[in-house]
Amino acid sequence: MRCRLRSTIKWSGTVLTVLLLVVWVGSAWWYAIFYLGPTLGLGVHAGRVLVVWEEPWSIIPVSSEWELGRHSSPLSFSWWFYVERGPWAAGTYAKVYIPLWALVVLFAAPTLRLWWRDRRKPPGLCVKCGYDLRGADHAVCPECGAAAPRVLKAES
């Protein structure tokens, strides 16, 4: 069960990382914003995620709509976090920009660690600590105490 869960997490992290990379690169040419009612919007624009909200909040969703478009000047990326506040028609608004590279790193780092941790050890090494057991005839690894697999010795 644990191995299956780890494998699911590894592959989910890999798919999510690749998807974030595709969205990141694609956002240099295209933008998309989804408005969730009158006071909240989520979008992808110029290499970053955009969260927009209007104050005062309205919890009654009037409508939701997509806004898709193409940038007038392609290959425009914003590389850092940014917060913007200002006056709005009925109050104030706030925009928070989160760079997509930060989300890629957030998901890619633990995924790479899982892939690195689960890589296969070459024959003749301890599966737990990697100690070289070739040439030794031990039932357990002298480094960590794990059961040592039998290594077939090559005949000369």
CA separation for the pair 49, 7 (Å, rounded): 28
Q: Which tokens is 38 given?
A: 């009158």
Residue 5, φ and ψ in degrees, nearest 5: -65, -45
Is residue 150 very low, low, confident or very high in pLDDT (cuts 50, 70, 90)? Answer: low
- Helices and strands in the chain: count of H runs, count of E runs: 2, 6
Name the pLDDT band for 155 (thresholds 50, 70, 90).
Answer: very low
Q: Is the pLDDT of residue 5 over 60?
A: yes
**Residue range 130-144: average pLDDT?**
81
pLDDT at 40 exceeding the cut of 80: yes
pLDDT of residue 36: 80
Position 62 scores a pLDDT of: 61
What Cα–Cα distance (Å) separates residue 82 from each residue in 11, 61, 106, 152? Answer: 31, 27, 18, 60
Closest CA to 78 of 53, 43, 54, 107: 43
pTM of whole model > 0.75?
no
Mean pLDDT of 49-72: 77
Candidate ranges 3-17, 45-59, 132-146; pick with highest mean pLDDT: 3-17
Mean pLDDT of the chain: 83
Cross-strand bridge partners of residue 69: 31
- Give the per-residue pLDDT at 28: 87
**Nearest residue to 39 via CA among 15, 64, 19, 17:** 64
Half-sphere exposure at residue 106, Cβ-oriented, CA atoms within 13 angstroms:
8
> CB of 68 within 8 A of CB of 31?
yes
Tens digits of residue pLDDT in 64-123: 778 888 876 766 788 899 999 988 777 788 999 999 999 999 999 999 999 998 877 778
Helix, strand and coil content of the chain, in percent to the nearest 5, comes to 30, 30, 45
pLDDT exceeds cutoff 80 at 38: no
pLDDT exceeds cutoff 70 at 129: yes
